[in-house]
Amino acid sequence: MKTTVEISDALFKEAKRYAAKNKLTFRMVLESGLRKVVLESAQPSKPFKLKKAPFKGTGMRKDFTWDEIMALTDRRSVK
Alpha helices in 43-79 (DSSP H): 66-74
Residue environment code for 28-39, b if the CB has 16+ CB neighbours within 10 A, otherwise e: ebbeeeeeeeee
pLDDT digits (tens, 9 = 90+) for 53-66: 887 877 767 788 88
- What distance in Å separates the CA atoms of residue 44 and residue 37, rounded to the nearest whole number? 13
Query: Model pTM?
Result: 0.51
* Of 41 and 50, more confident: 50
pLDDT digits (tens, 9 = 90+) for 1-40: 889 999 999 999 999 999 999 999 999 999 999 999 998 8
Whether 2 and 27 have beta carbons less than 8 Å apart is answered as no
pLDDT at 6 (0 to 100): 94
